[in-house]
Amino acid sequence: MNESLKQNPDRSEISIGIIVAEYNSFITSKLLDATKKTLISNHVRSENILELEVSGSFEIPVIASKLAKSKKFDAIICLGAVIKGDTDHYEYVSLAVTQGIGRVAIDNDIPVIFGVLTTHNVEQALDRVGGKKGNEGEDYAIAALKAIDSMSQIN
């Protein structure tokens, strides 16, 4: 995906907030590593990346809202993993997180990247953090940078 990113060598002033859920950390930590590595390799300064941990994915939207309202960030990347189990919990959490993150983006005119994996099993999640499908964290970082580039053309 890097090939299609607009090459802007000076991203030194870009600020990114990353919210990462601790629940399923064996997945989310890999998403986080790839996201940060990709941002830094695309000239975002590490000191301009704020990383915040929350207990689970359900808590992501409220922290994203707080970050957005601070007006200190050019984009927010939300990382989590909701893996289907034997109860309906998966559906409720997935829906609430999806709607919450979307609402934060629209209400605050800021790119809020949905980096919450919603998978049917652990194997599918592992495939998306370095397995068969690569690491989605890279895609989330690129999506944030593309959105920032697009926003800069409007403002």
Q: Which residue has the higher pLDDT, 133 or 148?
A: 148
Q: Rounded distance, CA 60 to CA 103, Å?
A: 12
- Per-residue pLDDT tens digits for 3-45: 466 665 678 899 999 999 999 999 999 999 999 999 999 999 9
Say what the pLDDT of residue 82 is. 95
Joined tokens for residue 25: 């950390």
Which of 93, 72, 88, 69 lies closest to 16, judged by CA?
Answer: 72
- Per-residue pLDDT tens digits for 41-51: 999 999 999 99
Catalytic residue among 6, 69, 72, 89: 89
Look at domain 17-154 and name its CATH class: alpha beta
- Per-residue pLDDT tens digits for 61-109: 999 999 999 999 999 999 999 999 888 888 899 999 999 999 999 999 9
Say what the pLDDT of residue 122 is. 94
Evaluate whether 136 touches 127 at the Cβ level (below 8 Å). Answer: no
Q: Is 43 a catalytic residue?
A: no
Q: Rounded distance, CA 133 to CA 111, Å?
A: 24
Joined tokens for residue 151: 């926003």
Say what the pLDDT of residue 48 is. 97
CA dihedral 32, 96, 118, 76 (to 10 degrees): -30
